[in-house]
Structure 1
Amino acid sequence: MRGQNRSDRQYELERSFLERAKSLLHVCYGKIEFISEQTDRPDAAFLTTEGRLVGIEIVEVDDESLREYFGRMREVQPALFEQLDRIEKGEELNSRPLKKKRVEQGNDCIFKKSKQKYDLYNDYMKNLEKIYEEIYDKKYELHGKEKHGIELILLAHSEFVSNEDDRFETYLCSWTNYHFSVSDCPYSKVIFTSGLTREAKIVFDKTNPNKNRPVLDKEKEKGSTMVRLNAIPADGKPYNIKDQLFNPPVPPSSKKRR
């Protein structure tokens, strides 16, 4: 059931993260059936055709102040609407982006907040045991199938870390696996989803841990700069997008468009 302290917005966000991971979950577990009533402690759960119950706990790994900064779009709406007016009138465009901020992405950027979910593991497993007993008779025993156990996985999500670039594949992925491995992560798997690619990848599997410390690369520890572009022409006219990438963002405004 949904917790009383959870907002509808938070629930919808978590469902969107979960949606991005469904294809990968089917690859890992075959045909699955989600338990629609299970939305908290843990955040989701599904059944496999073999009779296994798998719970999913979801964690957002981004810094909260970073999410708030890029989420405050009202303060840059005047600049956006002014840019749209300029495009319509064929006037010279503002070459500054709406938002721009340096995003720190050290080798523990996925692990750091995910580790806070370790202490919840035992309680959530107990909850899953109760759920399994309640649904087993209806789903499996009547069909002569045996129980195939309970599993709890972690779904870590970021809006700012890509899981398809070279840095992720050759650096961040191995470090993330290492951190979860040496910290004795209780979850059977950790799946990472990215808002930039809308793809999901396994970054830790308890059956295949990696306790060999990767080599630290100072260049790859620097992270990246995230930019939310201002409006650009859609009529095929030449426009140098690099100006927005390298310029500072528009100043925030408290003005409202009439």
Structure 2
Amino acid sequence: MSRRAALCVPANEPRKVAKALGSPADEVVVDLEDAVPVDEKVGSRSTVADLPARDHGALAVRVNAVGTPWHEEDVAACAANPAVDSIVLPKAESAASIRALGERLEALESAAGRTRPLRIQALIESPAGVHQAAAIGTASERLCALIIGYADLSASMGRRVEASWQFAQDAVLLAARLGGVEAIDGPQLTVADDERLAGAARSAADLGFDGKWVIHPAQIGTVQTAFTPSPEEIAEAREIVAVIEHAATEGRGALTWRGRMLDEALAVSARRTLDRSTGKEPA
């Protein structure tokens, strides 16, 4: 599946959770971490236990960080509910933490008789996380996405959220491609569906990201549009793939097409465009 627009919703607000589950978001992330006050964290965990499977799209849960009093039980609640597709691990800073979570999940799934393994998404939101992104991205077969967390990264770097974050975007994108997982841009920290959101989504898509987190249902359509190839892009990608595949049958690895040099590298890019158009998860 593709995570063009992942809607993050607080676990302690059941009405918002129910609305999110029925939304057109490609993924819903039920948040037990930053969005939930300390005195509501234990009670909010029951929301995870009762989450139903979505009719369309994926379902993830952001658990509390490793080392907090709530982490272990959060993970156990996710493993016990077959409707949950993946766990978002916040404050991811090492490959070891991803591997340890994978081992913990293996034991929990075996005890629960769960047949479909939980996947892991790593939230990169600290200097250490950015520095170790490449190692994190290749740490486990369970890993399916890397996500940038701008709010915590901003706080830990002492840099304004509105500043340029391309160094972190490049690091996370490179790590995701090395690991063969999706690269997801963090949210705009507003609930507005405006040109600022559209511009940020288009920019992330142009950089090569696969999707973006949103924090309000009104933002879903704008972000999905930014990460969905246009009909013209799809048509061109299909033609490029067809031309290169035909050339291969004639023993040619490169050729000129409409004044452009085509080779297998461009075919890979074209196939990625077609995968995005059909909702397939990038390889």
On whether the aligned pair clears a TM of 0.5, the verdict is no
Q: What TM-score results when the alignment is normalised by the length of structure 2?
A: 0.29
Q: What TM-score results when the alignment is normalised by the length of structure 1?
A: 0.31
User: Higher helix proportion, which one?
Assistant: 2
Based on CA coordinates, which of the two structures has the bigger radius of gyration? 1
